[in-house]
């Protein structure tokens, strides 16, 4: 279990921000192709009961030549100024068997999204540049994980990123907003 503090930076020139990260000395730590499956139940939804979500993530890291599958429950704590979650994660061997187990327990919603993620580390913070498939979320963004809000604001200043570009929404919330904006 870990407590995760993160924000998403939306509506910026991601390529320019990546160049600035590199200029500041950020270290490239991974380049991944991911499949993310959000798991829920139509009869007993997770959200209202636990204020969190279940996720199965398959990650193929091209830099470190690794393929891993993780099962995660993220419990949402707060999204005042930053998003905080308690994250429980375990590595699994078989995505298919886990899905079979979940189906037998009544989980029947498996919402799949694909993304490319390039990750950097700078000053003890993680910067994930995420580009999702068009059905999930059409605009690339940067997700930043950090330990102290003050350090986040300091690095945003160094990167010339406006604090008004910060979002504490989850990808599920962003996807819902995007889908709703597409309906006429």
Write down the pLDDT at residue 79: 81
Write down the pLDDT at residue 49: 67
Please give the average pLDDT of every successive group of 10 residues along the chain, which has 184 residues. 93 96 97 97 83 95 96 90 92 98 97 97 97 95 93 93 93 87 65
**Interacting residues of 164 by C-beta distance below 8 A, sequence separation 6+:** none
Write down the pLDDT at residue 7: 96
**Interacting residues of 100 by C-beta distance below 8 A, sequence separation 6+:** none
Write down the pLDDT at residue 184: 52
Write down the pLDDT at residue 183: 60
φ, ψ for residue 2, nearest 5 deg: -140, 155
Write down the pLDDT at residue 114: 98
Write down the pLDDT at residue 139: 95
End-to-end Cα, the chain, rounded Å: 42
């Amino acid at each position: 279990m870990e407590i995760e503090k993160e924000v998403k930076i939306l509506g910026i020139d991601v390529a320019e921000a990546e160049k600035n990260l590199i200029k500041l000395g950020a270290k490239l730590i991974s380049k991944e192709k991911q499949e993310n499956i959000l798991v829920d139940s139509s009869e007993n939804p997770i959200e209202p009961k636990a204020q969190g979500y279940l996720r199965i993530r398959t990650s193929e890291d091209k830099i470190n030549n690794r393929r891993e599958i993780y099962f995660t429950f993220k419990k949402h704590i707060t999204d005042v100024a930053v998003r905080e979650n308690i994250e429980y994660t375990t590595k699994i061997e078989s995505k298919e068997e886990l899905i079979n187990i979940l189906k037998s327990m009544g989980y029947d919603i498996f919402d799949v999204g694909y993304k490319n993620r390039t990750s950097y580390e700078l000053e003890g913070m993680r910067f994930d540049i995420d580009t999702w498939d068009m059905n999930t979320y059409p605009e690339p963004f940067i997700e930043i994980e950090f330990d102290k809000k003050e350090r986040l604001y300091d690095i945003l200043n160094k990167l010339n990123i406006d604090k008004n570009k910060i979002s504490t929404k989850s990808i599920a919330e962003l996807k819902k907003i995007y889908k709703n904006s597409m309906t006429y």
